[in-house]
């Protein structure tokens, strides 16, 4: 950035080619125009691509009856996790909420709005261990739930960034790790072994969170569990 004196006391602002004109309390200045870079990760770019695709699909591929069904579902399902609080999403928001995780997990997209007006049930038996040596997590879940024996369902698992062992609160970020897919012919059994999406080491505290997606697109709230990584 350089201070300049323009002819006749002229004032300029804005960009001309690769040069930006502006002023501050010290006077008129010019600087080279910076070309912004995309700070997002590959994972974030993937989610953006899913959102863009689903937005276009909602507008151009769903029938009006399908959009109406998602609207009705949104109007009937309280998304708040607190019993005294109420929060409702639009049909478009519910369509995205249901399908972005499914696309991420390579499960079939759901076009028809759910006709059962609730969220999927939350996983009740989530727990885990992890090993620095293998860089893997062993995730336990309730393998008697109805989803395990049904095709196009799944337990979607995310792992939080490792933190020091003494930290007892964690707000993120989480990374998608894997999905335990339901199977009508050979239901999965607990526990499941998954590879950590982060490098992990003994003594670090890890958080995992998981939610269930059902075949009709209903998605549960997150279940969470934290633990210390082993050797």
Domain segments of the chain as ranges: 2-32, 42-104, 127-228
The whole-number pLDDT of residue 41 equals 72
Half-sphere exposure of 26 (CA within 13 A, CB side): 6
The whole-number pLDDT of residue 83 equals 76
Residue 69 in 3-state DSSP?
helix
Fold of 127-228: Immunoglobulin-like (2.60.40)
Q: Quick one: which of 92, 94, 101 has its CA closest to 152?
A: 101
Distance CA 208, CA 157 (A): 7
Distance CA 194, CA 170 (A): 21
From first to last of its 231 residues, what are the pLDDT tens digits of the chain?
Answer: 555 555 555 666 666 766 776 766 666 667 777 665 555 677 788 889 999 999 999 999 999 999 999 999 999 999 987 878 889 999 999 999 999 999 999 999 999 999 999 999 999 999 999 999 999 999 999 999 999 999 999 999 999 999 999 999 999 999 999 999 999 999 999 999 999 999 999 999 999 999 999 999 999 999 999 999 999
The whole-number pLDDT of residue 15 equals 65
The whole-number pLDDT of residue 42 equals 78
pTM metric for this prediction: 0.80
């Amino acid at each position: 950035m350089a201070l300049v004196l323009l002819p006749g006391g002229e004032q300029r602002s804005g960009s001309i080619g690769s040069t930006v004109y502006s002023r501050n309390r010290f006077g008129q200045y010019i600087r080279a125009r910076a070309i912004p870079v995309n700070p997002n990760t590959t994972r974030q770019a993937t989610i953006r691509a899913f959102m863009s695709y689903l937005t276009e699909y909602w507008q151009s591929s769903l029938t009006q009856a399908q959009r109406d069904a998602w609207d009705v579902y949104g109007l009937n399902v309280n998304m708040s996790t607190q019993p005294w609080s109420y929060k409702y999403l639009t049909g478009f928001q519910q369509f995205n909420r249901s399908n972005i995780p499914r696309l991420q997990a390579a499960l079939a997209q759901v076009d028809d709005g759910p006709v059962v007006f609730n969220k999927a049930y939350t996983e009740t038996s989530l727990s885990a261990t992890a090993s620095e040596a293998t860089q893997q997590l062993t995730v336990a879940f309730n393998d008697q739930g109805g989803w395990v024996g049904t095709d196009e369902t799944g337990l979607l698992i995310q792992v939080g960034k490792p933190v020091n062992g003494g930290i007892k609160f964690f707000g993120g970020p989480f990374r998608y790790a894997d999905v335990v897919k339901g199977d009508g012919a050979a239901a999965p059994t607990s526990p499941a072994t998954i590879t950590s999406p982060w490098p992990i080491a003994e003594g670090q505290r890890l958080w995992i969170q998981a939610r269930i997606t059902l075949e009709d697109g209903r998605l549960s709230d997150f279940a969470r569990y934290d633990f210390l990584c082993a050797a």
